[in-house]
Amino acid sequence: MQLFASTYSSFVLAVLATASPALASPAQHVFDIHHAHNSTTTTTTMTTTTTPLFSPDTCPIDTISCTRTDIDPCCSPQNGLLVLALQWDTRWGPSNAFTVHGLWPDTCEGKQLPNQGCDPQRSYTNISGIIQTSDPLLHADMTTYWPSNKGDNDWFWTHEWVKHGTCVSTLHPRCYGSEGYVPRQEVADYFRKILELREKYDLFKALAKNGVVPTEPEAGRRPKNTYSLKQFKQAIKNEWGVEPNVRCIGRRLQEVFLWFKVRGPDNYYLVEPYGRDSCGAISYQRKSTAAV
């Protein structure tokens, strides 16, 4: 990213190649495993200095992320390729909905950002409390659609904010400009946008509309009642015009990744996947939980 003049010196991009973390075990969401396609990790740090307030009027209209390097990172995400990870766990969340793992910014080359996030000054703790205070309805929705499979929502949400939310450059406090900034309001804005995307791109409905519905549970690691990877990907492409990446543990469906770029600061649109699939035959089993 080209450095701006002193009036826009809010962000500093440092790039260090390090080894990518190992893939997570099936039950652990502490690791984000969407980067099986790329073993390179890019270190990005956004630091805060005293600068004039940002004005959205200075942004070019309808800028698309990853197409320019001379634009203020408040106008377009600096890490402009993002993956929405939606998971299917038969023990958690509504029976008629995928739940959220996270929204993960990548570099425009599809490289992973650092595990420690991009802005130590905003590595907030108690994310559950911050959201409950600022937006109780959002907190309730997150409890439904973003549950921790460890039973600790605050830890899960805090991890996602620190590692990924701090890397969304358009949510930096400076980007709120003359409208004024309420401390930590970017936290709720980050999670609210993700739930909006989950609702807009409702995987359960899209799959069902195209004949892919959960099957009865089967014991064992190699269930026989399965869909092909082609069926699964085509059902989603029929709905939105692009394929996802699909990940499995053995044959059991684990997660679906939808990839995005961004028009302007926050208008997300789907793009072709940058990752790899890890499924052959897919066991998409009915949940044991209730519907909403």
Greater confidence (41 vs 183) lies with 183
| Average of per-residue pLDDT values in the chain | 84
| pLDDT of 219 over the 50 cut | yes
Q: In whole angstroms, what is the distance from residue 21 CA to residue 212 CA?
A: 33
Assigned token pair, 290: 């209730």
Mean pLDDT on 11-19: 35
pLDDT at 292: 87
Query: Is 109 one of the annotated active-site residues of the chain?
Result: no
For the chain, give me the number of helices (H) and strands (E)?
Answer: 6, 9
* Residue appearing with tokens 């993002």: 82
Assigned token pair, 90: 């038969």
Query: Is 139 one of the annotated active-site residues of the chain?
Result: no
Of 29, 101, 139, 172, which residue is the catalytic one? Answer: 101
Does residue 10 contact residue 46 with C-beta atoms inside 8 Å? yes
Q: Cα dihedral angle (203, 205, 207, 211), rounded to 10 degrees?
A: 170
Query: Is 37 one of the annotated active-site residues of the chain?
Result: no
Does residue 95 contact residue 291 with C-beta atoms inside 8 Å? yes
Of 164, 172, 186, 255, which residue is the catalytic one? Answer: 164
| pLDDT of 36 over the 80 cut | no
pLDDT at 225: 84
Tens digits of residue pLDDT in 223-256: 788 999 999 999 999 999 999 999 999 999 999 9
CA 39 to chain CA centroid, Å, is 19
DSSP 3-state assignment of 252? strand
Of 29, 159, 160, 172, which residue is the catalytic one? Answer: 160
Exposed e or buried b per residue across 272-292, where buried means at least 16 C-beta atoms within 10 angstroms of its C-beta: ebbbebbbebbbbbebebeee
Length of the chain: 292
Tens digits of residue pLDDT in 50-89: 455 677 778 888 899 999 989 999 999 999 999 999 999 9
**Highest mean pLDDT, choosing among 59-73, 151-165, 174-188:** 151-165
Tens digits of residue pLDDT in 126-151: 999 999 999 999 999 999 999 998 88
Is pTM, for the whole model, over 0.75? yes
pLDDT at 7: 36
pLDDT at 224: 80
Q: What are phi and psi of 185, to 5 degrees?
A: -65, -20
